Amino acid sequence: MTSKISGRCLCGSVSFECDQVPVFQANCHCDDCRRSGGGVHASFVFVPADGLRVSGRTQTYEHTSDAGNIMTKYFCPDCGSQMFGSGSGKPERRGIRVGVIDDASWFQPMANVYSSRKLPSTPLDPEVKAFDKMPG
């Protein structure tokens, strides 16, 4: 695992750095993550919010999760790249989308969440814990 994370959006208007080790790494198969990212699942590394330094302007979109939390998506207003996420259930964390990290070769999910909603053609690694929903 790395202790320095950096990345940027597609156009480069938004960039970020974080010097803290991720506290959690996961793939999410919920409908919201699939829709917002356009993939079969979304992959995130979660870091302390106060350790994430962002350069550039982001816009946000908020929605309510099925668990009742307010979820905030942070994205680049120029190219539309979704960069980060946060939730009212754990406001001290930011989820960085793995796809915007410069070198994510170290990424190893610790869990697959909402595996009950995964697409039938999406294989899951049997070595990675799978939760039907978001664990407590």
Report the predicted TM-score, pTM, of the whole model to 2 decimal places. Answer: 0.93
| Residue in the structure block whose two tokens are 């793939």 | 27
- Give the start-end residues of each E strand in the chain: 5-8, 15-18, 24-28, 42-48, 52-55, 59-64, 70-75, 82-87, 93-97, 111-113, 129-130
User: What is the chain's pLDDT, residue by residue, as a tens digit (136 residues)?
Assistant: 667 999 999 999 999 999 999 999 999 999 999 999 999 999 999 999 999 999 999 999 999 988 899 999 999 999 999 999 999 999 999 999 999 999 999 999 999 999 999 999 999 999 999 999 988 6
Tokens for 81?
């790249």
Domains in the chain, please, with CATH? 5-119 (2.170.150.70)
